[in-house]
Amino acid sequence: MRYLATWMCLLLSGCLPHQDETVVTFFNKGEFPDRLSEWGVVYVKAGELVVNKGVIPYDLNTSLFTDYAHKLRTVWLPPGSTATYDSLNDIKLPPGSIVSKTFYYPRQAGELLNVAKSDLQYSSHGLDMEQVRLIETRLLVHLESGWHGLPYVWNDSQTEAWLEVTGATAQLTLKDEQQFTYVVPDSNQCQECHVDNFTTGVMNLLGIKSRHINKNNSHFNTSKNQLVYWQEVGILPELPPAHTLPRNAIWDSPMDTLDHRARSYLDINCAHCHNPNGADTSALFLDISESDPLRLGMCKPPVAAGQGSGGRLFGIEPGNAEGSILTFRMQSLDLNAMMPELGRSTVHNQGVRLIGNWINALEGEC
């Protein structure tokens, strides 16, 4: 069974991208279409990747590193439904919701850029196709049975993205001549990362939490706080004031402290496994709420020595980033040692530098 729906924006529609009469279509399991455009969430029109009516772009304070790719994120809820918020489970989207994440690289003169930020690729309506290379769009669809991941891969002409349930690869070269194999995960790998509670095995959203989206939206010149905006358009009516809610730091912003930036970086990049309920077996917990120094890895020996430790003695050795297992694994591309295990084929040098500076600033000794 499938149903069609269009959703009229209640307020501030001028802040959203260009909108037309294309409808958003929700497909139940077993009826997933081959073409991304059939969902109607994002689609190509007049040389732009357009976000549909009622589909809301959102942004994160600090996002998961994925081989320097940029990400256009959107959320859509079925008509008349709302998300819920509570202090334990944070934001929950109802069945029938669709979350999309389009991975792309800004480009100039045909070269792909590995810059952290670039607003050149945004037009007034969406992504300017002449200034970006689209790679994939991942959909997370909320069925009655739970969330389900669907990877769609863009063709070379950037006219359509096609469903690839077994994943895909792309050979890319960035402007600094860095060559690597970009890996599009299969549907099962989507679940591996999005199951943040290994006991329940339930797939959850990672980025749609108040601490990640408590910020102004940098897409399409939307200057209002995202949580406030979600309240105003009616998809999250019951919510405490945004200034009272947690907020992760922007990892490369000098406006936040080194400790807050580093902890926020580890939270989004590592804590989906490294949390008390996650798939981690090392008792290393990197979620931002963790306060026990030992559980954070301070002077903590590895559970099992071997290649993954790189010969280092402690997860984090205060004042010695080079001698810490954490930075060693972040810099590794060895499948037996690298962390995270999925989602990257390159090293995020700026992220390694951030965590290294944080470790070097820690006081104490093992």
Residue 306 confidence (pLDDT): 64
Residue 250 confidence (pLDDT): 95
Helix ranges (H only) for 205-295 are 210-213, 226-232, 258-270
Residue 139 confidence (pLDDT): 96
Same domain for 258 and 362, yes or no, is yes
Same domain for 62 and 189, yes or no, is yes
Same domain for 228 and 85, yes or no, is yes
Same domain for 234 and 262, yes or no, is no
Do residues 319 and 360 make contact, with C-beta atoms less than 8 angstroms apart?
yes
Same domain for 259 and 310, yes or no, is yes
pTM of the entire predicted model: 0.88
Residue 5 confidence (pLDDT): 38
Task: Point out the domain boundary residue: 213, 243, 273.
Answer: 243
How much of the chain is helix, strand and coil, in % rounded to 5? 20, 25, 55
Task: Point out the domain boundary residue: 243, 272, 294.
Answer: 243
Distance CA 48, CA 126 (A): 6
The domain tally of the chain equals 2
Same domain for 149 and 25, yes or no, is yes
Same domain for 230 and 288, yes or no, is no
Residue 20 confidence (pLDDT): 56
Do residues 217 and 227 make contact, with C-beta atoms less than 8 angstroms apart?
no
Residue 195 confidence (pLDDT): 57
Distance CA 305, CA 309 (A): 6
pLDDT along the chain (366 residues), means of 10: 36 43 85 96 93 91 94 94 83 95 92 75 77 95 92 96 95 90 83 59 81 81 82 89 91 95 96 77 86 94 74 94 95 85 88 98 94
Residue 78 confidence (pLDDT): 95
Same domain for 160 and 233, yes or no, is yes
Same domain for 230 and 268, yes or no, is no
Same domain for 75 and 194, yes or no, is yes
CA distances from 144 to 90, 191, 219, 245 (A): 19, 16, 31, 29
Same domain for 138 and 258, yes or no, is no
Residue 292 confidence (pLDDT): 94
Strands 111-112 and 126-128: unpaired
Same domain for 179 and 236, yes or no, is yes
Residue range(s) defining the domain that contains residue 150: 2-243
Residue 235 confidence (pLDDT): 92
